[in-house]
Amino acid sequence: DTGVSQDPRHKITKRGQNVTFRCDPISEHNRLYWYRQTLGQGPEFLTYFQNEAQLEKSRLLSDRFSAERPKGSFSTLEIQRTEQGDSAMYLCASSSGQGGNSQYFGAGTRLSVL
């Protein structure tokens, strides 16, 4: 399967711990997005990379959140000092930026902060 891959699928952590998620986009896609989705809501934009450059970051994003995309391939999203309010599904999407810019989403990482 050459779709967007996210790891892990599920993460349970205790409040105050740091967590890191990984996203492997479709190989030729230069655009990569991170979203957060809570139950019954639509995806909420977190950040956007074009190749290795982080071009957009939500103002709502706490400085406990950081994302990287070294070499413009896979990306990681780290949450430091997790809080119960961080519990959500974290989605990654990638696109080629061509034509209609179709975003392809991964299945997400579900984070539960106890």
Residues 11-70 that bind another protein (CB under 8 A): 31, 33, 35, 40-45, 48, 50, 55-56, 58
Could you tell me the sign of the dihedral formed by the alpha carbons of 105, 1, 30, 102, in that order?
A: negative
Record the tokens describing residue 10, joined without a space. Answer: 């599920």
77 binding another protein? (CB under 8 A): no
Question: Binding-site residue total for another protein (CB under 8 A)?
Answer: 28
100 belongs to the binding site for another protein (CB under 8 A) = yes
**Contact 78/14 with Cβ under 8 angstroms?**
no
Question: Least separation, in Å, of the C-beta of 81 and another protein?
Answer: 26
Is residue 93 at the binding interface for another protein, with CB under 8 A as the rule?
Answer: yes
Task: Give the separation between CA 11 and CA 90, rounded to whole angstroms.
Answer: 11
Q: Is the dihedral of CA 17, 38, 60, 99 positive or negative?
A: positive
Residues that bind another protein (CB under 8 A): 4, 31, 33, 35, 40-45, 48, 50, 55-56, 58, 91, 93, 95, 97, 100-108
